[in-house]
């Protein structure tokens, strides 16, 4: 399996357990690895034979603008399922980081992986 990666994708979303934390959008950072068979695209040099990376990023921005989440776990699962179902990925690994959310901590977050 081949891997498409999207690194340091910065998005705004409403995320957090306390209601006050979800009042204002905050920046989160996503690192995404998408498993896909790229052999056909390597031969054809055509976008239709791969996943349109720009479309994935745009779709993530739209969905995170439409939804709010309490847990980074739920947000990560939502994005994984979106990429698996809407873009036909074979697998997705995602790291969700909330930078600067706690004093003295660069960021916190999770990494999950889902296979179709």
Q: Taking Cα atoms as reference points, which of 98, 37, 92 lies closest to residue 59?
A: 92
> Does the annotation count 116 as an active-site position?
no
Residues 36 and 4 sit within 8 Å (Cβ to Cβ): yes
Helices within 27-68 (DSSP H only): 39-44, 53-66
Query: 2-36 in b/e burial notation, b at 16+ Cβ within 10 A?
Result: eebebeebebebbbbeeeeebeeebebbbbbbbbb
Task: Given the residues 14, 43, 95, 98, select the one marked as catalytic.
Answer: 98
* List of E strands, the chain: 2-15, 26-36, 68-69, 91-99, 107-115
Which residues participate in catalysis according to the annotation? 98
């Amino acid at each position: 399996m081949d891997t498409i990666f999207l690194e340091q994708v910065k998005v705004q979303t409403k995320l957090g357990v306390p209601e006050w934390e979800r009042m204002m959008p905050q920046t989160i950072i996503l690192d995404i690895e998408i498993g896909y068979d790229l052999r056909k695209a390597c031969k054809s040099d055509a976008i239709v034979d791969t996943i349109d990376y720009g479309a994935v990023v745009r779709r993530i921005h739209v969905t995170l603008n439409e939804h709010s989440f309490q847990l980074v776990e739920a947000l990560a699962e939502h994005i994984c399922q979106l990429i698996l179902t809407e873009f036909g990925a074979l697998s997705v690994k995602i790291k969700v980081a909330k930078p600067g959310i706690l004093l003295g901590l660069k960021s916190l977050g999770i990494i999950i992986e889902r296979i179709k």
